[in-house]
Structure 1
């Protein structure tokens, strides 16, 4: 499959919404209930227990998230993106390679001040289509990774989930949670091996070396990818957000309607 990086595609943040009024119908109630009950909405487990969250999940189709997936976690990231201002970014192929190279070599760090700037924010970083693949040694076949959700709590904990499996021949997407990380310690992942025996981000897909494809097999690789991409996002604060315009070529993926920053 050819790598596509001409523009930001429709995001899972948009795909999850069953209709235009769903966000405003449910999310103000989520905020009110969390405040009244003294619940920390940044805690995914506590968030999922809110009645208003259950109502929001109830409006979703079972197909919106792949079988066995966590609809509550998808709503968690969607809520925080809505509540904090939709921080969306699109990483070019060069940006992804820079992120992977930097986090693997450990030569570049972001610094605690830059990581602290993420506190109380949430967003989505989209990757070029078909560049990075979720690969498993089990029965599940490889899935193209669309991007990653992220949310940084006031307690300085980073939540991340990969999004994969967005395909025109089926609805929904695959959501893969990553172990939460202390936000201010993310630079500690730089230079650390993520696979036993090395070979971080190498793909086993046919033709991967020729096409320059990347593969993720371990949670540690997912964390390192997030560290690299969010490091680039930290440096892009001064860039202007854009909106994809015009009609794509026939057969090309649909464009996102949201403003995004190019990394």
Structure 2
């Protein structure tokens, strides 16, 4: 059970990767292969070239035959790994605070909060 279960909906990460232990094992395998090959798993192109990632994507997309689906699953996996590597932090904001932050953004690019 996630800490935020009483307060928020499931995150896209929790929907895509409901098995914490299986995802943790996959992350270790990805990191190990990246280290052995001298690749940076935080670089999308290098991440997608990992054999472990290719196998995981094939497993995820086994029954999905839509065009371009492998790239979509690889991107989802990349963002899942990045989310966990960054500490899986979630921020619960009131609706008014969220609207205020979004309304003052000069572009579609996210900005980190100013402390």
Of Structure 1 and Structure 2, the greater helix share is in 2
* Equivalent residues in 2 for 1:114-133, closer than 5 Å: none
CA contact (8 A) 1:26 1:55 kept: no
- Paired residues in the alignment total 107
Of Structure 1 and Structure 2, the greater strand share is in 1
**Which whole-Å deviations, capped at 9, do the CAs of 1:8-67 have from their partners, x for residues lacking one?**
111111111263432123110100111111111111111011011112223324689x97
Across the aligned residues of Structure 1 and Structure 2, the Cα RMSD in angstroms comes to 2.7
> Distance in 2 between the 1:63 and 1:90 partners?
35
> Distance in 1 between the 2:103 and 2:84 partners?
32
Query: Relative to structure 1, is the Cα distance of residues 45 and 93 closer, same or farther in structure 2, using a 3 angstrom cutoff?
Result: same
SS in 1 for 2:104: helix
> Distance in 2 between the 1:48 and 1:93 partners?
36
Runs (5+) with no aligned partner, structure 1: 1-5, 104-189, 191-219, 236-263
Higher-Rg structure is: 1
Runs (5+) with no aligned partner, structure 2: 1-5
Aligned to 2:50: 50
In the superposition, the TM-score normalised over structure 1's length comes to: 0.36
Aligned to 1:101: 103
SS in 1 for 2:41: coil
